[in-house]
C-alpha cells in the first residue's frame, strides 16, 4: 500500500485525490483507500453530480455507496447548469466538514478542470455569463479575434485563435471586467505554484490496450444494464447534461437513426478519445504520483 498517504494520519487529515482516465478503476481504488485511511469519498466528476445519469456516467453503485460515505453524487437535477466554479463552491465545504470530523476526504474523479479549481483555486476572473456568450456565439470568429486583439493583444497572442471557446472566453473576461484577461490570468499563475507542493494524490495509469478493453467492457455493461432506459427517461436536460458521452448516441439509437452495434462503437470511440485527453491533462499535474 502507498506509504505516502499515511504520513498525516492522526493530525489534520489531508485530502487524498484519486485521478485518472475514465474506466481506469478510480472508484474501486477510492473505496480501498477510504477503508485504509478511514476516509469518505467526494465526487470530482462533472457528470456524476447529476441525478438520473447514474448509469451513463458510471457513478458508483448503491452497493459501493453503502460501504463508505459518498458525497456529491446525484446532487444536481439534470436541468441544472454547473461549471468548475460552482463545483468548487459545492465541494470545499463538504471536504472541510469531513476533515472537521477527523476523516480523510478521498476526492475521486476525472474532471480535470473541476479538480484544478478545487486544488488550485479560481483565478480572479468573472464567471461566464450565458447572455454575453450567446451574443458572442452569434458573431463570426474572425470578428471575435479582431476585438480580442484590440482589447488585449497579449492574451490574443497566447490564445489558440482557431478555438472559438477560448477566444470567446478571453474576450468575455475583457468585456466583463474592463481589464485585460492576460494580466488577471498572470496573477493566478504565480500564486498557483506553491499550492502543488502541499497536495497529494494518485493518478491511475494503465496501458492503452488494457484501458481500451476496460472501456469496451464498461460500455457493454452500461447498454445491457439500463443506460438506454435511463436516457429514454430523461426528457428535460440542461445543455450541460446533453454532452455526456453516451447521451447523444443513445438518443439517436432511440429514434432509430443508428443501430445498436453502431451506437456501442460510437460510445466506445468517444470514450477512448476522452480518456486520452484526460491522460494528457493529468500528465501535466506533476504533484500526482503515478499508481
Residues that bind RNA (CB under 7 A): 22, 45-48, 56-58, 82-86, 110-114, 116-117, 120-123, 125-128, 133, 136-137, 160, 162-166, 168-169, 173, 185, 188, 192, 208, 212, 239-240, 243-246, 269-270, 272-274, 276-281, 283-284
Q: In what order do the strands lie in the sheet with 201-203?
A: 70-71, 39-43, 104-108, 16-19, 201-203, 288-290
Q: Quick one: cell of 101?
A: 470530523
Give the residue among 205, 196, 202 at the shortest CA–CA distance from 276. 205
**Contact between 27 and 108 (Cβ < 8 Å):** yes
Q: Which is nearer to RNA, 11 or 190 (CB)?
A: 190
CB of 168 to RNA, least distance (A): 5
Q: How far is CA 51 from CA 7, 56, 178, 231, 246, in A?
A: 36, 11, 38, 12, 16
CB of 30 to RNA, least distance (A): 15
Q: Which is nearer to RNA, 103 or 164 (CB)?
A: 164
CB of 9 to RNA, least distance (A): 28
CB of 122 to RNA, least distance (A): 4
Distance CA 10, CA 100 (A): 12
Q: Which is nearer to RNA, 121 or 226 (CB)?
A: 121
Q: Supply the DSSP symbol for 5.
A: G
Q: Which is nearer to RNA, 35 or 277 (CB)?
A: 277
Amino acid at each position: 500500500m502507498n506509504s505516502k498517504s499515511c504520513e498525516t494520519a492522526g493530525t489534520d487529515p489531508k485530502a487524498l485525490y484519486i485521478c485518472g482516465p475514465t474506466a481506469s478503476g478510480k472508484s474501486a481504488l477510492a473505496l480501498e483507500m477510504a477503508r485504509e485511511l478511514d476516509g469518505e469519498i467526494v465526487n470530482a466528476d462533472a457528470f456524476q453530480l447529476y441525478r438520473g445519469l447514474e448509469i451513463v456516467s458510471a457513478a458508483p453503485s448503491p452497493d459501493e455507496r453503502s460501504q463508505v460515505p459518498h458525497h456529491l453524487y446525484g446532487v444536481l437535477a439534470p436541468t441544472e447548469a454547473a461549471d468548475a466554479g460552482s463545483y468548487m463552491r459545492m465541494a470545499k465545504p463538504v471536504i472541510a466538514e469531513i476533515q472537521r470530523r477527523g476523516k480523510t476526504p478521498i476526492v475521486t474523479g476525472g474532471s480535470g478542470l473541476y479538480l484544478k479549481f478545487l486544488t488550485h483555486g479560481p483565478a480572479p476572473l468573472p464567471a461566464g455569463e450565458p447572455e454575453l456568450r450567446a451574443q458572442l456565439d452569434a458573431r463570426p470568429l474572425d470578428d471575435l479575434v479582431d476585438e480580442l486583439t484590440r482589447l488585449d493583444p497579449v492574451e490574443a497572442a497566447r490564445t489558440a485563435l482557431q478555438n472559438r471557446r477560448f477566444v470567446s472566453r478571453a474576450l468575455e473576461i475583457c468585456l466583463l471586467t474592463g481589464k485585460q484577461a492576460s494580466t488577471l490570468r498572470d496573477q493566478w499563475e504565480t500564486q498557483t505554484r506553491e499550492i502543488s507542493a502541499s497536495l497529494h494524490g494518485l493518478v491511475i495509469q494503465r496501458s492503452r490496450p488494457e484501458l481500451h478493453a476496460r472501456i469496451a467492457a464498461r460500455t457493454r455493461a452500461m447498454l445491457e444494464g439500463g443506460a438506454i432506459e435511463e436516457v429514454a427517461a430523461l426528457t428535460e436536460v440542461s445543455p450541460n447534461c446533453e454532452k455526456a458521452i453516451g447521451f447523444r448516441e443513445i438518443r439517436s439509437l432511440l429514434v432509430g437513426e443508428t443501430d445498436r452495434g453502431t451506437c456501442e462503437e460510437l460510445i466506445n470511440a468517444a470514450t477512448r478519445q476522452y480518456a486520452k485527453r484526460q491522460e494528457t491533462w493529468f500528465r501535466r499535474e506533476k504533484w500526482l504520483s503515478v499508481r
